[in-house]
Amino acid sequence: MSDNASHDSFFALHHGLPRQGPGSDATTRRLLALSGPLPERPRVLDLGCGPGRSALLLAAEAGAEVTAVDLHEPFLAELRRSAADRGLDGSIHTHRADMGALPFPDGSFDLVWAESSVFVLGFDRALAEWRRLPAPGGTLVLTECVWTTGTPGPAARAFWERHYPLRTVAELSAAAVAAGYHVLGTFLQPEGDWAEYYGPLAAHADAADTAVPGMAEAVAGARAEIAMRREHGSDYGYAGFVLRPADPRWRTRPETAGEASVVRPLVAAAFGSEAEAELVDALRRDPDAWLPGLSYVAEAPDGSIAAHALITRCLVDGAPAAALAPVAVAPAYQRTGAGKAVVRAVLDAARLRGEPLVLVLGHPEYYPKFGFVRASEYGIKPGFEVPDEAMMALVLDDSVPVPPGTIAYPAAFGV
């Protein structure tokens, strides 16, 4: 059997499927929400768009101008027909191209989108090659197959080692940070996303003419994949990742030994008093509060420290959580992006450390930019009176139940 027969049969089997991988409109909407505020008419690059389910939703619901890329021309033709049927042909432009050799200039898009397609290049290569594409403040959104346990069974491990080696969400998040991204959010996709893909695929397999050269092998491959999911699906899943290239103007890193004497005057100058600097000193002395590696700084271009952010231990009705406070920016660097850079960096560090929940008492117009929402939405409240919108929470790991209850801060906070 020729390679052409295998190729043609694979695409014939997949032709007409609503999706080419696990997903749903609900998942696309959730990824879009995690991406944060967008321009009025965002420029979106949909890579490996397939028949364009995501492209159609993004054009219709986000008002996006979508450039949809795929190598398989029949998928692009199907998308053009669907866009015309919905009156979206002026908003969706198809482009036949290789995801690994894209012709677009740097900084061309507000969103780079890749649902169920990053495997074509591999996660690490995709992050390296696509990092140039988002405009400043732009976002990369992708979904990827992941291990959902640290000890997958031998059958699942053998299957995926043959086809596409998997990593966990935590491992991929660490790879994204190492590649120069901030992680705005991750989540494990629901089981229904698999049904939306495998249900129609199974029906196609049942109806396929296996006498066609290559079709029997294509059907067998699809059925083996579906059976693996049915029998060993608790070992793996699909996950969404929302990433943003780090601002290259600021080098962020953990505070090093001996830098407390530099951080202290910065905090005092940022707040115009010694109170917050004394708070940081007291937290350093409290072994139950201090979390190694979560005191972060942003360096100015000259190497001096421009900003500092600290996360320490707190409790919610006895369950461990983390508190972001204080965040300090040297007066000369306020409103330059240094504070935003150091907050994103320390949140990444907390995520990679395994912290599931971060709380902040702060400006309700500032911290939602990082994904924080009212803590009261989770039944969390402080033990003192504050405006509801000022007490906020950010879930870093949605596989861990969020504990409701009252926040207990370290003694240094005096509350």
pLDDT single digits (tens) 342-400: 999 999 999 999 999 999 999 999 999 999 999 999 999 999 999 999 999 999 998 89
Task: Please report the pLDDT score of residue 140 as a whole number.
Answer: 98
What's the predicted TM-score (pTM) here? Answer: 0.93
Task: Please report the pLDDT score of residue 370 as a whole number.
Answer: 95
Task: Please report the pLDDT score of residue 38 as a whole number.
Answer: 94
Alpha helices in 154-290 (DSSP H): 154-163, 169-178, 191-207, 215-232, 260-271, 275-285
Q: What is the band of 165 on the pLDDT scale with cuts at 50, 70, 90? A: very high
- What is the dihedral angle through the alpha carbons of 205, 208, 212, 216, rounded to the nearest 10 degrees? 30
Give the gyration radius of the chain's Cα atoms. 24
Token pair recorded at residue 109: 């898009």
Task: Please report the pLDDT score of residue 3 as a whole number.
Answer: 64
- Residues 369-380 have pLDDT tens digits of 999 999 999 999
CB 211 within 8 A of CB 45: no
Q: Kindly state the average pLDDT of the residues 186-210.
A: 95
Average pLDDT along the chain: 95
DSSP state for residue 197 in the 8-state scheme:
H
- Residues 1-20 have pLDDT tens digits of 456 777 788 888 988 898 99
Q: How far is CA 114 from CA 38, 247, 355, in A?
A: 17, 22, 27
Task: Please report the pLDDT score of residue 177 as a whole number.
Answer: 97
Residue 125 has pLDDT above 60, yes or no: yes
CB 391 within 8 A of CB 415: no
Report the alpha-carbon angle 10-13-19, nearest 5. Answer: 100
Token pair recorded at residue 190: 């629901």
Task: Please report the pLDDT score of residue 282 as a whole number.
Answer: 97
Which residues 6+ apart lie within 8 Å of 54 measured at CB? 23, 28, 46, 113, 115
Nearest to 141 by CA among 60, 45, 237, 37: 45
Distance CA 331, CA 387 (A): 27
**Chain position carrying tokens 């050799």:** 101
Q: How far, in whole angstroms, is CA 399 from its chain's centroid?
A: 15
The kind and range of the H/E element at 179 are: none
- Residues 264-299 have pLDDT tens digits of 999 999 999 999 999 999 999 999 999 999 999 999
